[in-house]
Structure 1
Amino acid sequence: MSRLIHAVGSLPPAVAPDAETGMKWLVDSSAVDGQADGGAPVALTALPCDGDPDWIVQWLHGLRDVEDPSSARRVFEIVADGDSSDYDRVPMYRVAKGVKLQPEHVSLQRRQDVEGWIGLAEEVRRRAGADQLRFQVGIPSPLDLTTFALANPRVLPKLPVGQRLGAMASMLRLYPVFRTAVLDDVRAIHDSHGENVVFQVEAPSVLVVLWSAPAAARPLAAKWLAGKMAGLLAGFPQDAEVVLHLCYGDLAHRSLVTPDSFGPAVLFLNALAAKLGRRLPKVHLPAAFGDHPPSTDEAFYRPLRQLRPGYELYAGVAHHDGGTESREALRLFEDAFGRQATAVSTACGLGRHTAEQAEGAIQDCRDLAGVSRDEESAA
């Protein structure tokens, strides 16, 4: 059975100057024969509707202008400012004294975004003859949002100890507000478009925290992170289709950490499986990071042998340079996993690639998706 192609979401402006053009580019690029016209099957797991790589950055910068309607006061004060050109220049805030933070203060307004995209997405799908193709909506983990907004780990070390501890305490205390804001959007979108939508929960904080923690602390950290994720997923409608996107960060096409195995990811996923009362999400698991190609070290993939059963995995092994590295990475991924990956993908979205690199990456995905494990073994 051929694998599918999982498009993480973002696209470079050169191939996606607007949402409709970006969606059409993905559909055309993912058609089985390379041409979507004429009703050829489209090999995508779902169709991402928002190709903008900086929409979270825009939300983060927009927090400085949020006002509390009851008092006409600014909700946030700037602790550290920046233009988000790299991880050390991301702004960080605190809630203004006397303001009670509400979900609407931190809402991403994803429901409004989806209403703006859905008609365009339906038309792209109709023209491709892919009526069963669902629409993918990115939903950031509220833990990531809370951390970036209130306790940025690249800013905290620069603050006095007391201020640092206060920021961390504020992050933990206010996390439920961010969680409510995210779930309000999820439920509203599901109520209107449930059968047509796949929610991609984007959680780079998981692997960044685990790789930043001392090895001895990782099992405990994995359980804590799994508890937060399980609590979030418990708030999704029971019949919602969910994909969990793990990554190592990709701002300026650089990762926050340098992984050398899937060990921490498996710690987290096993802890999550133990805590979830609903079916397991599909998981996009990256073997590459930043501008680095996927690992071809067998030891990198070996921890997948310990993964609890029940997960469907999307192998993040495709790369814009393609070729033998990607193919070997997929072979090692699936050998350790013990079965074929449901889909292949790049490590993260393509929004910080050049147009040429995006073309190369999607070509690599298409090549890998059409190769069966038997064909690989015979190669």
Structure 2
Amino acid sequence: MTQPQGALLVGSIAFDDAERTMRTAATELGGLLRRIPDGEVGPRFHWIMFQPDVLGQAEGIERVGEERIPLRMLDARPLRVADGVDPREIRFPELGYARAARESYALFRRLREEGVIAPGMRFQVSLPTPLAVVGAFFPPEQRAAIEPAYREAMSREVEEILAAVPHEDLAVQWDLAVEFQIIEELPGGVAAWWDGAWAGVVERAAWGVDLVPHDVEVGLHLCYGDVAEKHFVEPRDAGNLVRFANAIADAARRVPAWVHLPVPIERDDDAFFSPLADLRLPEETELYLGLVHREDGAEGAQRRIAAAQRVVPRFGVATECGIGRAPAGTTEGILRTHAEVAAPW
């Protein structure tokens, strides 16, 4: 078995500040990484769960329920368009992603000047798709009407990020998780609010890819969720992941720099990996398999690597999702596992 080449940090990392995240990632994994995220610190610690507090400030948007649903510093109550309000008239405030990117890029640049971050490394900004936020926080009967307003707000965020970070330093990752609730038709999960579930999720994902200009890297993190280190449903095999990745590659007008696919901890069998034989990514697109898991470290990762390599010989490694909610004291060990099982670029 040859070692995979390179590693991807999916996004969230369980440190409290961006400087510690970047310093630790650069020290532990420097030669394996082409991009470094800021760890999604502060209110972004639980992916999109801070968005209701932001969107609830918009005129015409109400919180659902009288009592707060506390999640550390956040209020996780969902949202609704108020009665009598035309969703087309709603303008959301800034979402917080561009502001965070500006602040973290200043740190990234300083650490590069200090020699901590190597020249040529890119600053990675991870973003949720509009589908995710709309599907997670608005009632089913309002999603179609409110989606354009949130898509417009996210477009403004991307424009601000592109203006703040030099394009040669920037990489944008779209996180696609709620999409797989729709694809898998998960009971009790988010359902499509349009006709033709597959076509709709692919069209929306391709929109995000094409929103990023060609001189900025764009990547895709395909995800089955991460609540208490568990998927919302375990994929039967990699079939839907492969189908989705192929469909986006065909639909988008530009080539993704990377695609990340999760691998459940218990899957080191040929049945899970065999659909990867049908993966049709462009030659220049990096493939990362999320087969690093905290619970079984390098030994478990190597079993999954061996199984994957029987189908796809070239890929890098990652965790199956971000590690922002990993147990305290485990982060450095998870990062070191990447270095134990993969070779530098």
Structure 1 contact 50–137 (Cα < 8 Å) conserved: no
Q: In 1, Cα distance between the equivalents of 2:340 and 2:90?
A: 44
Alpha-carbon offset, residue 2 of structure 1: 6.0
User: Could you tell me how far 1:81 is from its partner in structure 2?
Assistant: 6.4
Q: 2:276 aligns with which of 304, 316, 332?
A: 304
Check the 8 A contact 1:19/1:49 in 2, yes or no: yes
Q: What do the CA deviations read for 1:242-274 (whole angstroms, capped 9, x no partner)?
A: 111111111333321121211111121222223
Letter in 1 for 2:144: L
Tell me what 1:140 maps to.
128
Cα 1:213/1:129, change in 2 over 3 Å: closer
Give, in angstroms, the shift of residue 324 of structure 1: 2.7
Partner of 1:123: 110
User: Which ranges of structure 1 fall in alignment gaps of 5 or more residues?
Assistant: 32-41, 69-73, 151-166, 373-379
CA–CA separation in structure 1 for the residues paired with 2:318 and 2:110: 25
Label 1:264 to 1:81 Cα distance change in 2 as closer, same or farther (>3 A).
farther
CA deviations over 1:144-203 (Å, ceiling 9, x no partner): 0111120xxxxxxxxxxxxxxxx3242122212211111211122113312211001111
Structure 2 partner of 1:316:
290
Which deviates more from structure 2 when the two are superposed, residues 135-144 or residues 107-116? 107-116
Bigger radius of gyration, 1 or 2? Answer: 1
Does the 8 Å contact 1:103/1:180 carry over to 2?
no
Q: What is the aligned-residue RMSD (CA, Å)?
A: 2.8
Give the residue type in structure 1 aligned to 2:107. Answer: L
Aligned residue for 2:160?
Answer: 188
Instruction: Call closer, same or farther: CA 1:80–1:309 in 2, change over 3 Å.
Output: farther
Structure 1 residue 312, shift from structure 2 partner = 2.5
- Tell whether 2:91 aligns with 1:92: no
Alpha-carbon distance in structure 2 between the residues aligned to 1:334 and 1:80: 53
CA distance in 1, matches of 2:197, 2:58: 35
Question: What is the distance in 1 between the residues matched to 2:298 and 2:209?
Answer: 37
Residue 44 (str. 1) matches residue 33 (str. 2): yes
- Structure-2 change in CA distance of 1:203 and 1:81 (3 Å): farther
Select the residue among 313, 325, 332 that pairs with 1:359: 332
CA distance in 2 between partners of 1:108 and 1:133 (Å): 26
Identity %: 27
Query: Of 326, 331, 337, which aligns to 2:306?
Result: 331
8 Å contact kept, 2:249–2:256: yes
Q: Which AA in structure 1 matches 2:309?
A: E
Paired AA for residue 274 in structure 1: D
**Following the alignment from structure 1 to structure 2, what is the Cα–Cα distance between the partners of residues 107 and 268?**
30
- What one-letter code is carried by the residue in structure 1 that aligns with 2:33? L
Q: How far, CA to CA, are the matches of 1:246 and 1:82 in structure 2? A: 31
Q: CA deviation at 1:84?
A: 6.6
Q: CA 1:236 to 1:330, structure 2 compared with 1: closer, same or farther past 3 Å?
A: same
Q: 1:371 to 1:185 in 2, by over 3 A?
A: closer
Partners of 2:344 and 2:306 lie apart in 1 by 10
Partner residue in 1 for 2:148: 176
Match of residue 173, structure 2, among 200, 204, 229: 200
Residue 10 (structure 1) aligns with: 12
- Matched with 2:203 is 227
Per mean C-alpha deviation after superposition, the further-off stretch among 3-12 and 299-308 is: 3-12
Match of 2:23 in 1: 24
Structure 1 residues 318, 9: closer, same or farther in 2, change over 3 A? same
Task: Tell me the distance in 2 between the aligned counterparts of 1:225 and 1:43.
Answer: 32
| Equivalent in 332, 336, 340 of residue 314 of structure 2 | 340
Q: Which amino acid aligns with 2:123?
A: F
Higher-RCO chain (CA-CA 8 Å, sequence separation at least 6)? 2
Distance 1:277 1:296, change over 3 A: same
- Equivalent AA in structure 1 for residue 24 of structure 2: W
Deviation at 1:90, TM superposition (A): 5.1
Q: Aligned partner of 2:277: which letter?
A: R
The answer to whether the aligner puts 1:61 opposite 2:35 as a matched pair is: no
Separation (CA, whole Å) in 2 of partners of 1:197 and 1:351: 21
Give the corresponding residue for 1:253: 229
User: CA separation in 2, counterparts of 1:278 and 1:371?
Assistant: 27
Instruction: Indicate the residue corresponding to 1:158 in structure 2.
Output: none
SS, match of residue 315 in structure 1: strand
Give the TM-score of the pair, scaled to structure 1: 0.78
- Give the match for residue 287 of structure 1: 263
For 1:80 and 1:284, locate their aligned partners in 2 and report how far apart those are by CA, in whole Å: 39
